[in-house]
Structures are given as C-alpha cells and as structure tokens.
Structure 1
C-alpha cells in the first residue's frame, strides 16, 4: 500500500476502512481514469455495491471525480489534493483515446471560463477531447 493513503482519507474527512484504503491505493496507481467494472475486476473478489458506495463517498468528499467519456460507463480519477467542494474546482480537460479506449485527465489544461447568457446558472462543466493518445501515436 502506498504511504499516506489513510492520511489522505482523513484529510478529506473520510473514515479509513480496509475497502477505502484498497480502492484509494489502486486509484493512486492509475495513469488513466478507471471504470467501476475495471476497478471491481482489479480488486476481485470484492462486492460491487461496496466499491460503488466507496467511489460515491470519495466523489462527495472531492477525492475523486467522475468522467463521462461517452462510453456509457463513468470513469473515476483522483482529484488534485487541493480540490474541495466550494464548489468542486477540479475543472480540467479529459482526453479519450479512440484506439486504446483509455480516458486521461489533463490537469494542466483547464476548461476555459464560459460566459452564459443572463438567467442561466452553471451547475456542472466538462470538456472531453477525443483522439489518439501519445502511447497509441507511436
């Protein structure tokens, strides 16, 4: 287990449990976002509902963010350590590779500010770029 897993949970106000430690440890080793199904397979044998509830707890406490990459299943990736819920400000571009089907966070590529017409109120924003990742371009 990577050092600091329990401390990261506690810093977000999440009580460390064996499952939460396991899920956070696995997520922290990923280079790309991961689906519930992929996480479940990697941690087998685990209860799917428990893993889902763990991810929802992490999302509610701004430890992970869900990504809709158009594949029909949400993918999850860790938020930056300074992410919080006032409002959740982990607003960066995501990239989905059409060859390997991986979805990557591009944390240095922020979603540009968007001016909405009067009377419109933003609740959520995402930007997904589709193409071929650097690994598949070689």
Structure 2
C-alpha cells in the first residue's frame, strides 16, 4: 500500500518540566490528540538566503539557514481528551509554562520528539451559540526535534 491516511500519524503531548529540560517524559505521560481533532497541519517554515560566488558561473544559489517545525491542531473541544486538557491548562501561561513535549509517530513508525512551545492563541470554546465548541492550538518545536528511525 503506497498511500496512507493522515489519521495513521499520531501526535502526543506531555507536560514540560523546566527544572529538568532535557529529561524526556515517561511514555504514559504522553497524551494522544485523537477524538474531535479533525485537522493537523504541518505549518513549518524555511529561512534562507540567496548568494552567488566565484565558485560557479555566477548563478544565484540558496542556502537554507534555518528550519522551523510548527504543527497546527484544530477541531472540536472535548473535555474528556487529556491532550486537549493539557493544552487548555496552558492557555494563559507565559514563558516556560507554555512549553510541552511533542511526539509524532509517523505512518512509517519514525518517531519525532522534542520540546515545543504552544506558540499561537489557544482556543477552547468560542463562536456562535449553535456551534460546537472549537479547539485549536499550534506547537512549534524550540529546536530541531530528535528523529528515531523504526527498527526493521
């Protein structure tokens, strides 16, 4: 099967302890984004600069100087979902209190894990009276996350 559904990619969050910034959480501390999270989008960015030098024919080359990995989550608020509850608790937080561990298990079983910041407005309920309460947030990795390839 060459193609796989996005729903097979799993996203988890765990609380971040600023007193132990490099200590990964235990597996059972991770909470999965699941029911009622309807869209998860890769909204990363590339920083680059163009240059040309005398090593070639004068054509402009591009040097990637930075990569920002950001994930946007949206759907409907579900108070029974522990991942959403963890995010909600950080709605009014600042600084290190807005950090979380973010783990992704891709469809090929590659694991991406690192500390990220809840970098956008956290929405837990808003809108028309007849609408379901929305949920949304964004997690931006603070640095390049660790990538672990699956074992064959």
Q: TM-score, normalised by structure 1?
A: 0.27
Query: Computing the radius of gyration over CA atoms, which structure comes out larger, 1 or 2?
Result: 2
Q: TM-score, normalised by structure 2?
A: 0.25
Pick the structure with more strand per residue: 2
Pick the structure with more helix per residue: 1
Higher relative contact order by CA 8 Å / sep ≥ 6: 1 or 2?
2
